[in-house]
Structure 1
Amino acid sequence: MKKLMAPIAIVLALFLLGSSVQAAPDLPKNHRYYEEIQYLMKKGVINEESDGKVRPNAVITRAEVAVMIGRLKGLDGKKKDTKFKDVKKSHYASGYIAAVDKAGYLKGYKDGTYRPNQTINRGDAALIVSRVFDLAFTFNNEFKDVRSDTALSEAIAKVLAANITIGYSDNTFRPKAKVTRGEFAAFIARGLEPKFKNDAVIKNSYQKDKTKTYTYARPDGSTEVHRFVNVPKRDGLTFGFMWTVKVGNDVYEYMEFENYKLFAFAYPYSEYDQALAYPVKVGQKFNTGLGDETLINTITGVNKTVKTRYKTFTNATEVTTKTGFKYYMAPGFATIKSIDEKGRVVFELTSVK
């Protein structure tokens, strides 16, 4: 059964004060989103309010979102008349509200209102962030609380693919849950910076660290170097952050998709290959997703000791194909080694820097 990556394509300050990188009195270093907020403060996306606070735990409003997005995108925030009957020129966010509406990031309502003081929820955040970052790729979500035939489902599939947020272990996304200023700051920071994407993963994730470079050996003596980078648009197609592989003079891209059911390697505007099924346990069988029902893999070992040129792993998961090909995966490292049907090593991790 083919599974496709479909081509589809703040906040914290209400006042236009100078940017500050000093910690606000209500933002302790142990706050869950301390680094993300500090990162955006340095960029001038978030400013302190008049009392020096950023209120990271307060639920965010549509006006606050407009200010954050406007600053992020360099839009004109000068106060101006708007087409919305509930946003006067004197409103602190009037300029940004008009600008983000025009850009299509956060539009008003059909009744002519913008509802600037209305709060947003996780579903709203997914829609807004998918537009702001022009996210192109989707990952099947199948959340039981999200209808699959809606624009919201598509937006959620995009933010999942981009490692901007994740769902919950009970297979829900909770789209109606309110979003705090700190949470929305985290969504934006993850869209901008790979190190923050590392936080949008499930517990005991098999995904690689997006801030590091991974080198692998191939049987012909060549090497593969994998880096997570922002890939420019190509032939009019949006790529965004992806793992980029250099093999000699050749380059290709892929992504790692993961939820509470599976781990997969995905390819631009193509299908994805399932590499693991969750929960990880011996005897677990799964289809790779390549459309051939005979391609069934089986998890044949857990907590295996596997020696690679990089290091010896003691927590590797062994997967065996119908032909006898074996590959080994480890939490935080994805694939670490592969052995063909004749027992030859055909892929092996050699360094992580």
Structure 2
Amino acid sequence: MRSRVSIVVIALCLIFGMAAAVYAAPLTDTENHWAKELINAWVEKGLISGYEDGTFRPDNNITRAEFMALVNRAFNYQEKAEIDYKDVADTAWYADAVKIARAAGYISGYEDDTMKPDNPISRQEAATIIMKILRLEENTSGADKFNDAAGIPAWSKGAVGAVASAGIMGGYPDGTFKAANLIKRAEAVVALDKALSSKVDVIYDKAGTYGPASGSEEIKGNVIISAAKVNLQNLVIEGNLTIDKAVGDGDVHLKQVTVKGDTYIYGGGKDSVYFIDSQTGRTYVLKDDGPIRIVVSGTTEINEIIAQSGVTVEEVDLAGEGIEGITIDKKVDGNIEINLKGVNVESLKINTAGVTVRTDGDTVIDKLAVNKKADFRGSGTIKYAYINADGVTFEKMPEKYEVAEGVKPPTIYRPSSGGGGISKVAVSAISVEGVAKVGETLTAKVTPTGATVNYQWQARADDGTTWDDIADATSKTYILSENEVGKLIRVKVTGTGNYTGTKTSV
């Protein structure tokens, strides 16, 4: 039994006709349309709009790019993947939509390395996308009820049967599905409305242990953890798992949890996100500020960690495959630090500049691909490295490496201490964000981003000279109380781990 859980249905916001202005007045061409009630209901809620001439054009076709854009909005997909399609220019309006769709994993393009974004999308293509989004099982027999089942291609028949059996897409009055027909705007609204209604989020927003003590419980939709000290156990999550920003610097434990979708880590601190005897696919690290520590143990298997912010990764008492690969792929080049402790991975890829990777002596990287300038510190073993960027440095050189044509070879980093260990990085600044009002939250921002530090909030009288430590105020955030009225507040940070130095905000 799940206790203290919230269920929410994701709202859908569609924008059709990317090149046209939208019009919010009552529609003039839906009065006699079969989908009139749903279309008008969405218009009243502000979810969709018509064109500036007052029409909705419910029977118009939708391009593949437009369908991707509305799916991304509907299911709140935001992460982007690197793409290299010959027909998707980076300046095209749909470039981001394609990148997001590719990252979400519901579309991959054609064998000739094209996406054909301007082509109208067919009903069978839409069915395939919806099947992947909802993670439905292929069901070829589910398509046999249609009179034209024999004409449905083998590549799409399982998807057509899956969405038909789930009640997401139906056939026509004549008993056919018409898989190759182009899907209309009204049909897209109806299909995605049904898809959204079948996909719910389970939210754990209070500390506690959730999931059965033995056996296994299946959750069909997505799961969101929005509080610290949440422990999940013996769960199979069919959708995505999100560890929300609301977790802050707290800890989360996942024990015997299988995530069939993607995992997104926006919250968690140096006290860790623990994966114990668990299985996940792509696991994104996306915390805006401060470090996240991921601890992997037991029979845990993680297909890939995609770090877009600083992270410490540890493998402890591992009995399974552990982490297969790690990709550093921040959206914007900038300083980011990755710490690997006792980690044995098949591959590590660096796709963003300004990365420092620190390894201990128990870390082994089978294959390293460096596509942007990066620094490697520590005594970990790198068996093979492919260097595809200038300015790469190693404290311990790879056993073997290859340099791309026209690229400068890597250089050896010599720690100034002469001791052969990992050099310390100075904490250079600390600032405070927030409004100075009772009940408001102040947030400390440390430089460099991702530095591991100890926090201590302090107060003094406006006319005083002595700063006093505030009891139990040792986290990155502090909520102002009545006790601080008329006082000055500051935060003091002291570097820990690979960081050194003490700074105050005043």
Q: TM-score range by the shorter chain?
A: 0.3 to 0.5
Bigger relative contact order (CA 8 A; separation at least 6): 1
Q: Give the structure-2-normalised TM-score.
A: 0.33
Q: Give the structure-1-normalised TM-score.
A: 0.45
Q: Which has the larger radius of gyration?
A: 2
Structure number with higher strand proportion: 2
